[in-house]
């Protein structure tokens, strides 16, 4: 049944450019203006967060756009407080659009006396009044089971497939998809299937956390244009080392496609000085000035996909239809020609 209310978008401070881009895309798709709710999200002198909505949201279907990226705790608290403010303002339904879901790497107990923080965050979001989650490339798919509310997990691989088929269209026979570790094989295999490319794996063994003792390439990469695929790039140490190992094993050139460019600490410097020809990330996390200035980092937009997914949720239609390259092609028309 069609929704009788218009979708309302509100943005925190984590990634306002992405929120504005989603609003513009939704306006294009609907043929009528979709604006961000007029609100202020500010901090008191002691760091406490204050939220005030200036627009009426009573009975409205509201979407909060807020990745919980660095600073993760501040952005998470903004999201929780915005949800509480909307619930107390009688919003009909609150959907949290979390392009990058922070704390997702803490999804299990790896040793004694450690937390499962991803589950704690899930509980906090539900308690704050969130009734639905829309995110992209969760670090672990089972995190969806931490919620007792609907979770729509979008995938960047269809966007990456469009990008690869556009930028490597003259050398697709030489393209090989590479997983930087055994744990990411499923993600890499999915992209490899989409573009009909072979798959290789870089097996890494650690002596202790943060240190890579040994890397071994599983598969013949000789003369191949290798594309490393992963969901998160944090300090880029593993990524840059994997690129070196692939070239040592005969790869022609190395590129990387990473969904969430966390890129903390020395990451940008490492990428700049690495043997990688390019690092492609999405805009789920707002790019810093050093990232934007880096000559071998390129950003692909997710706003078209999030805008369509938001409209589909609002209309009560399929979100999984966005998992196919054929469906995304028209949405990204003008950006990619395959």
List, in order of start, the domains of the chain with CATH numbers. Answer: 7-156+303-331 (3.40.50.2020), 157-300 (3.40.50.2020)
| Residue 14: predicted pLDDT | 97
Residue 278: HSE in the Cβ half-sphere, 13 Å Cα cutoff:
12
Say whether 236 counts as a known binding-site residue: yes
- Summarize pLDDT for 10-35 with one digit per residue, the tens: 999 999 999 999 999 999 988 888 99
Q: Is 208 a catalytic residue?
A: no
47 assigned to a ligand binding site: yes
pLDDT number for residue 337: 60
What local confidence, expressed as pLDDT, does residue 1 receive?
45
- How many Å apart are CA 257 and CA 272, to the nearest integer? 15
Orientation of helix 157-167 relative to helix 185-195, angle to 10° = 50
The response to whether 59 counts as a known ligand-binding position is no
Q: Are 262 and 68 in contact (CB under 8 A)?
A: no
Active-site option among 204, 224, 252, 277? 204
Regions of the chain with pLDDT less than 50: 1-2
Residue 234 marked in a binding site: yes
Instruction: Please classify residue 155 by burial: count the beta carbons closer than 10 Å to its beta carbon, then call 0-12 exposed, 13-18 middle and 19+ buried.
Output: buried
The pairing of beta strand 175-179 with beta strand 278-282: unpaired
pLDDT of residue 29: 84
């Amino acid at each position: 049944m069609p929704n009788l209310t218009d979708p309302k978008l509100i943005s925190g401070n984590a990634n306002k450019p992405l929120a504005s881009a989603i609003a513009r895309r939704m306006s294009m798709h609907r043929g009528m203006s979709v604006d961000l709710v007029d609100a202020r999200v500010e901090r008191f002198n002691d760091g406490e967060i204050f939220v005030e909505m200036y627009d009426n949201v009573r009975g409205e279907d509201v979407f909060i756009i807020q990745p919980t990226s660095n600073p993760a705790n501040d952005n998470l608290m903004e999201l929780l407080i915005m949800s509480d403010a909307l619930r107390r303002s009688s919003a009909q339904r609150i959907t949290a659009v979390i392009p990058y879901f922070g704390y997702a790497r803490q999804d299990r107990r790896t040793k004694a006396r450690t937390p499962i923080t991803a589950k704690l965050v899930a509980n906090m979001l539900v308690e704050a009044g969130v009734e639905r989650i829309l995110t992209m490339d969760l670090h672990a798919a089972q995190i969806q089971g931490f919620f007792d509310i609907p979770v729509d997990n979008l995938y960047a691989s269809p966007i990456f497939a469009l990008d690869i088929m556009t930028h490597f269209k003259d050398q697709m026979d030489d393209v090989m998809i590479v997983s930087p570790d055994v744990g990411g094989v499923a993600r890499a295999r999915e992209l490899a299937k989409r573009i009909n490319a072979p798959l290789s794996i870089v097996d890494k063994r650690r002596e202790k956390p943060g240190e890579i003792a040994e890397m071994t390439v599983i598969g013949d990469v000789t003369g191949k244009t290798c594309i490393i695929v992963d969901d998160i790039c944090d300090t880029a140490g593993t990524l840059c080392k994997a690129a070196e190992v692939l070239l040592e094993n005969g790869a022609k050139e190395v590129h990387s496609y990473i969904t969430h460019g966390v890129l903390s600490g020395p990451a940008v410097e490492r990428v700049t000085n690495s043997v990688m020809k390019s690092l492609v990330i999405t805009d789920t996390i707002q790019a810093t000035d050093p990232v934007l200035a880096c000559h071998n980092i390129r950003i692909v937009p997710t706003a078209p996909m999030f805008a369509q997914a938001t409209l589909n949720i609002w209309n009560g239609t399929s979100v999984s239809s966005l998992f196919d390259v054929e469906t995304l092609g028209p949405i990204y028309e003008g950006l990619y020609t395959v």
